Structure formats: structure tokens, C-alpha cells
Amino acid sequence: MKDKRNEILARQLIEYSVELQPGEVLYVEIKGKETLELGKQVIRIATEKGATPFWYYNDESLLRQFVRDAADNQFKKQAELHLALMTRADAYIGLRGSDNPFDMADIDTKQIDKHNTLFYKPVHLEERVKRTKWVVLRYPNNAMAQLAETSQEKFEDFYYDVCCADYARMSKAQDTLFALMEATDQVRIKAPGTDLKFSIKGIPCVKCDGKRNIPDGEVYTAPVRDSVNGTITYNAPSLYQGTVYNGISLTFENGKIVKATCAGDNQKLNKVFDTDEGARYVGEFALGVNPFILQPMKDTLFDEKIAGSFHFTPGQCYDEAPNGNQSAIHWDLVQIQRPDYGGGEIWFDGKLIRKDGVFTDEKLEKDFSKENLKSTAL
């Protein structure tokens, strides 16, 4: 059963997400031992299609051995090696299923910053994101099930429902929301601990419909960089660089984070926002619309797609929705507005468009229902 579901998922990644063509080069990054089974399917199917896959194995237990003590010149040399490979690639598939997501928790934050700035930014943010067809996903191993606080068997059933959803149909469902966001100037968000105002005028919107992330299900843009004012309190926990943050609250003045607190280590939190100038400005605003994801599980690729949520992201903007913000970080922080999480409202140009996680447009809400988006392949 799992082999069959992995084959369905692999074909979706290759045929729908990156639309791999004969003669193209596919760069496959495999993280975590259990992820190898899906990796085998991806490599096999890519080869059968006439593409040439390059693959390598990686996980945080290996990465920490390098990041812990590497000097600047070593980070740069590793970036050169990977950049040469990434430059040759037409497509990239990242399969991420590390055994222990906390393996980087005790690494000095200065070393993490160097890794982000000297390796991750040039290889992934500048080359992979901007110049390849790419998709990344998590794999349903026991570590993920533990973070989701459920059994591995139950989590696997949830995972394949989510990841093998009918993303072509989801894409059509997103058209209405996309048009609404494209036409909007002023946004106001209200929720417990949140009263935030900003403009998205003139910033392009992007549908996320399975072409970049699996699972997917968001429509994003970015705020005008200096337009953000007010306070936001996120109610989804965030696992970032090996640390779990809860209750993050940010206060903005003219786009800049002037105060950042959380339920834990405020000093460590502020070190993230001091990575560079752009880390204290926002590079993305997005609405989550995946009806199969309802609870946070400390995994960004899932949590940012939660139905009835939005994320407001300090750091680097995307080229597809540019607001001029540049940073070595891109931290998707999530607020869920369904009633079980305290509710909330989103207003576009003075009109209420979503209340307590439900769109005020009944057709739009129906288009994003489980019944409409469930895969027929499983």
C-alpha cells in the first residue's frame, strides 16, 4: 500500500509539480533514511521519462558535523560545489524526512547565520528558487508523527490525503481568491493580540497549487515594505533552526519589527531578527486554504497551509511577489483564525472577506472543501 502511494506521489511530483521533460537534469535531495523509498521512486520514474537525475543524501545529523565548526571559507567552498550542481539542474525535488528535527538545536546561532548567509542563500534562495523548477516536501516518518502528536499509521493516512490532493482542481479554486487579492490595496487583520494594517497594492499575487510545495494550498503576495503598522501575535508554534518558539508577538512601525517577544527565549528570538536588516521587515503575506490540514504540527510546509490560517513572514521576499526586502532568512510564522484558535477577521479595503477562518463568499468556501479537492487516485 505504501509503495503504491509513494509511486502516486512521485509521479505527481515529477509530472505535475516540476513537469520534468526528457533530456532535463533533475537534482534530488534526500533527507532522512525512511525518505529513501520515495527517493527511489522519484529516481526511477525520472529515468524512465528520459531525464537525468542527480541525487545525494543529507540530514541534520550530518549537517551539524559541518556547520558546528566550519569557517567562512569552508561555507563558501561548499556553496561553490552545490551551486555548480544547482546551476546545471533544470528541476529540483527536495524530499525531507529527517529522523530528528532538533539535531541543530545546540549549534551556535552565529554558525547557523553563516550557513544561511554563505550557503543557503546563494544556492537555494538565489539559484534554486529563482532559476529552476522546484518542489519540496516532508516525508511521513515517525519523527513527524511525534511532532503531530499522533501514531505513525494515522499520520501516514493523513499525509497521503494531503499530499496527493487534487492540486489541479485546487488551482482553479484559487482563481477567485487570487483576483480578490490582486485588486486589494489595504489589509487589516484583527484577532486576539493582533491589530495589524498594511498595503499590498501593486505587489503581484501568486497561487501555490502544488508546483512548489507538497502539501500546498496558499495564495501569497507581500506587503508594501514600509506600510506595516500594528501588532501581530502568532498562535501556531514554530520549529525554526532547531528551536520551538511559542506565542511570538511582533510590533511594527513603518514596516520594521521594533519589538519581538515570545513565551520562551526572547534573546534567541531577537538574534534571528538581527540576522540582517531585512530580517526585521516582512517579505510575504499569504492565506492558507488546504482543508486537509487543520492543526499545527511544527512543520512549516504543513502549518502554513492550514485552512483558516494566514502567515506573515519576516525576511526575504520572493521574486514573483517582490517588495524589495532582502534577507538571509524567510520565516513563515502562522496565525490560525478558526474559532478553536480564538477566531479573527481579515478585511480587504474595508470589506470583511474572512471571519473565524471561513470566507464570507460561500462559493469560495465550498471550492476549498475536502469534498471538492480529494484525490481520486488514492
- CATH code of the domain in which 142 resides: 3.40.1830.10
Does residue 238 belong to any structural domain of this protein? yes
Q: Are residues 171 and 158 located together in one domain of the fold?
A: no
What pLDDT, on the 0 to 100 scale, is given for residue 160?
86
What letters, b where the CB count within 10 A reaches 16 and e where it falls short, cover 112-141? bbbbbbbbbbbbbbebbbeebbbbbbbbbb
Whether a cis peptide bond, with omega within 30° of 0, leads into 296 is: no
Q: Are residues 101 and 119 located together in one domain of the fold?
A: yes
Q: Are residues 36 and 158 located together in one domain of the fold?
A: yes
Please list the residues that pair with 187 across neighbouring strands: 198, 348
Whether a cis peptide bond, with omega within 30° of 0, leads into 140 is: no
How many angstroms from the chain centroid is the CA of residue 350?
29
Distance of alpha carbon 132 from alpha carbon 240, whole angstroms? 25
Q: Among 147, 163, 179, give the residue marking a domain's end.
A: 163
Query: pLDDT truncated to tens, each residue of the chain (378 aa)?
Result: 568 899 999 999 999 999 999 999 999 999 999 899 999 999 999 999 999 999 999 999 999 999 999 999 999 999 999 999 999 999 999 999 888 878 888 999 899 999 999 999 999 989 999 999 999 998 887 777 787 788 888 888 888 888 888 898 999 999 999 999 999 999 999 999 999 999 999 999 999 998 888 889 999 999 999 999 999 999 999 999 889 999 999 999 999 999 999 999 999 999 999 999 999 999 999 999 999 999 998 888 889 999 999 999 999 999 899 999 999 899 999 999 999 999 999 999 999 999 999 999 999 999 999 999 987 766
Q: Are residues 150 and 193 located together in one domain of the fold?
A: no
Q: Among 116, 144, 163, give the residue marking a domain's end.
A: 163
Please list the residues that pair with 208 across neighbouring strands: 218
Q: Are residues 133 and 256 located together in one domain of the fold?
A: no
Number of structural domains in the chain: 2
Distance of alpha carbon 39 from alpha carbon 146, whole angstroms? 22
Q: Are residues 7 and 98 located together in one domain of the fold?
A: yes
Q: Are residues 254 and 206 located together in one domain of the fold?
A: yes
Tell me which residue range forms the domain holding 306: 167-373
Distance of alpha carbon 223 from alpha carbon 322, whole angstroms? 9
Query: Residues near 267 by Cβ (< 8 Å), separated by ≥ 6?
Result: none
Query: Residues near 29 by Cβ (< 8 Å), separated by ≥ 6?
Result: 55, 56, 58, 92, 93, 94, 95, 96
Query: Residues near 194 by Cβ (< 8 Å), separated by ≥ 6?
Result: 230, 231, 232, 233, 335, 344
Instruction: Check: pTM over 0.85? Answer yes or no.
Output: no
Q: Is 202 exposed, middle or buried (0-12, 13-18, 19+ CB in 10 A)?
A: exposed
Please list the residues that pair with 330 across neighbouring strands: 315
Does residue 378 belong to any structural domain of this protein? no
Distance of alpha carbon 348 from alpha carbon 35, whole angstroms? 41
Does residue 230 belong to any structural domain of this protein? yes
Does residue 293 belong to any structural domain of this protein? yes
Q: Among 163, 185, 204, give the residue marking a domain's end.
A: 163
